[in-house]
Amino acid sequence: MIVIAAIWISILLLSGGAALDRALTNNVSKNFDGQLEYLLNSLIGSAEIGPAGEVRLNRPLGDQKFLEPNSGLYWQISGKGYENFPSRSLWDRAIITKNDHKDFDSHFRDSDEFTDEPLRIVERTILLPDSEVEWQFVVAQSRAGLNNQITEIRYTLIISFALLALGLIILAALQTLYGLWPLRSVRVAIAEMRSGRTNRLVEALPDEVMPMVNELNALLDHNEKQAEEARRHAGNLAHALKTPLTVIMNAATAKAEDINETVIREATTMRRQVDHHLARARAVGRRGNSHSRSKLWPSLESVERAVGRLYGHVRLDIAGAKQVSVCVERQDLDEMLGNLIENAAKYGGGSVFVTVEEKIEFVEIIVEDDGRGIPQAERSRIFDRGVRLDTGKPGTGLGLAIVRDVAEIYGGSVTLEESEDMGGLLARLSLPKSPDE
């Protein structure tokens, strides 16, 4: 950041300095040329034609330098067929006039014809009254003063802009170091958390850094919550497997005659407990993915085809919003819909109706059947693991428990009601709607 700031400041100051140098030198040069042109106009205004047709001045020019030899300020009047009429300051020298152009306006040029004295020359061609000769009026001045002024200006600009660049770079460096200094505190705090001395960032930091600290603390909370859920799931699974394993061990130790049936029964219990906890673990692991998004209608159609093959006698109808998406992974969405619709087909009277309703923040999937329903007193108990009201049909008693647990993991819910239209059970699954809907 400091290097980039230094490079950018240098580029800007170099560009600005070059532009300012050009503006100031052009202004000084224009002032210099303006003074020369003023002297040229004064020279032209003082010129007249003498009796012999020669040019002469009717009044001397006011600048004393025209009278001092080699003073650096000169004038000269030239005409074809006449000798040059110079200022006394030229002494024994003459200014070479250019014959390749005739300027009736002022023409400026630089000349190095005088040794060690570069000149700035302004010249103009004039037709004086009572004369047919084109007279060349020339005023010249040494460029030493102009060059000294330009050199002084550039020296001042270089010193000023160098100090300004140094000050800005130092300021940018201090600002960068000061602005990033709180991150050192964050690094130290993270090191302390890794060593176990603390578990959160509690130090007061600038407002610009606090959002990152808050997000980091929220991430720690999320990780702790997931770790606690994992420990709780592991404990629940261990507790659920402990009893069947004990029954199997006791039967084996006692060499019970029905040990085969006991092993099969208890192994089936253990398998459905493992399936249940694996489903929860998959949902918890995918919940952290902020991009979880699934189209609802393709999932419903997939479940419809699967249930249609298992229960060919059941009529399954689907209606409602077709373009909605929910913030749920497709595998978990299929598992929840599959459990609800399969239960409706298994325990209903032969008809199942699924309705999709789009709310502001949620999508409701309503599954109705024409079966006997579930008494209101049993509706909350049916969500417990292993609870089955109809033991005459195959099942593990974990379907609704898995639907409830997975829905809650994604921030949704599931409730059981009585279907007013079909007379059987109504299951209402509510899932968060995808924000891009």
Q: In three state form, how does the secondary structure of 327-350 look?
A: CCCHHHHHHHHHHHHHHHHHHCCC
Name the band, by pLDDT with cuts 50, 70 and 90, for residue 103.
low
Residue 150 pLDDT exceeds 50: yes
How far, in Å, CA of 300 to CA of 319, rounded?
10
pLDDT at residue 396, rounded to an integer: 40
CA dist list (Å): 280 to 139, 214, 275, 325: 100, 28, 9, 22
> At 397, is the secondary structure helix, strand, or coil?
coil
**223, HSE (Cβ side, Cα atoms, 13 Å):** 8
Name which residue leads in pLDDT, 113 or 283: 113
What is the per-residue burial (b if ≥16 Cβ within 10 Å, else e) of 36-56? beebbebbeeebebeeeeebe
Take residue 117 and report the two structure tokens written for it: 């004295």
* Alpha carbon distance 431, 407 (integer Å): 7
Lowest mean pLDDT among 54-68, 83-97, 287-301, 404-418: 287-301
Confidence of residue 343 (pLDDT cuts 50, 70, 90): confident
Q: Which fold has domain 2-148?
A: Beta-Lactamase (3.30.450)
Angle between helices 210-253 and 144-195 (to 10 degrees): 20
pLDDT greater than 50 at residue 149: yes
Domains 2-148 and 294-432 share a fold: no
Q: Per residue in 219-236, pLDDT tens?
A: 888 788 777 777 776 766
- Name beta bridge partners: 136: 78, 125
Residue 10: pLDDT over 80: yes
Query: Tokens at residue 227, please?
Result: 């770790």
Decide: residue 263, CB within 10 A, 0-12 exposed, 13-18 middle, 19+ buried: middle
Stretch 324-346: mean pLDDT: 88
Contact criterion met (CB below 8 Å) for 46 and 57: yes
**Cβ-based burial of 385 (10 A; exposed 0-12, middle 13-18, buried ≥19):** middle
More confident residue, 410 or 285: 410
Straight-line distance from the first to the last Cα atom of the chain, in angstroms, rounded to the nearest whole number: 40
Higher pLDDT, 243 or 293: 293
Q: What does the pLDDT read at residue 32?
A: 93
5: its two tokens: 């700031």
The predicted structure's pLDDT at residue 39: 92
Beta carbons of 233 and 281 less than 8 angstroms apart: yes
Mean pLDDT of the chain: 84
pLDDT digits (tens, 9 = 90+) for 151-201: 999 999 999 999 999 999 999 999 888 888 888 888 888 888 888 788 787
Q: In the chain, helix, strand, coil percent, each to 5?
A: 50, 20, 30
Q: For the chain, count helices (H), then strands (E).
A: 7, 14
Task: Output the DSSP codes for 134-176.
Answer: EEEEEEEEESHHHHHHHHHHHHHHHHHHHHHHHHHHHHHHHHH
Least confident window among 229-238, 304-313, 334-343: 229-238
pLDDT at 397: 43
- The residues pairing with 135 across neighbouring beta strands, listed in sequence order, are 126
What pLDDT, on a 0 to 100 scale, did the predictor assign at position 8?
93
Show Cβ contacts of residue 284 under 8 Å, excluding neighbours closer than 6 positions: 226, 229, 230, 233, 409
**Residues 98/123, Cβ–Cβ less than 8 Å:** yes
Give the pLDDT score at 285: 60
> By CB neighbour count within 10 A (0-12 exposed, 13-18 middle, 19+ buried), where does 402 fall?
buried
Beta bridge partners of 418: 425
Residues 252-269, mean pLDDT to the nearest whole number:
82
What is 294-432's CATH topology?
Heat Shock Protein 90 (3.30.565)
The answer to whether the beta carbons of residues 369 and 344 sit under 8 Å apart is yes
- 358-406 pLDDT, tens digit per residue, is 988 899 999 999 888 888 777 777 766 544 444 444 444 456 877 888 8
Q: What average pLDDT does this structure show over 102-128?
A: 87
pLDDT for the residue numbered 100: 58
Q: Is the pLDDT of residue 287 over 60?
A: no
* For residue 255, pLDDT beyond 50: yes
Q: What is the largest CA-CA distance in the chain?
A: 159
Q: Which helix (H) or strand (E) element contains residue 320? A: strand 315-320
Confidence (pLDDT) at 391: 43
- Contact call for residues 354 and 319 (beta carbons, < 8 A): yes
Has residue 73 got a pLDDT over 70? yes
Q: Structure pTM?
A: 0.47
Distance CA 271, CA 386 (A): 12
Cα dihedral 160→165→171→175 (10° resolution): 160
411 Cβ neighbours under 8 A, 6+ residues apart: 327, 432
- Domain locations along the chain: 2-148, 210-287, 294-432
Q: Band of the pLDDT at 284, cuts 50, 70, 90? A: low
Res. 131 pLDDT band, cuts 50 70 90 = confident
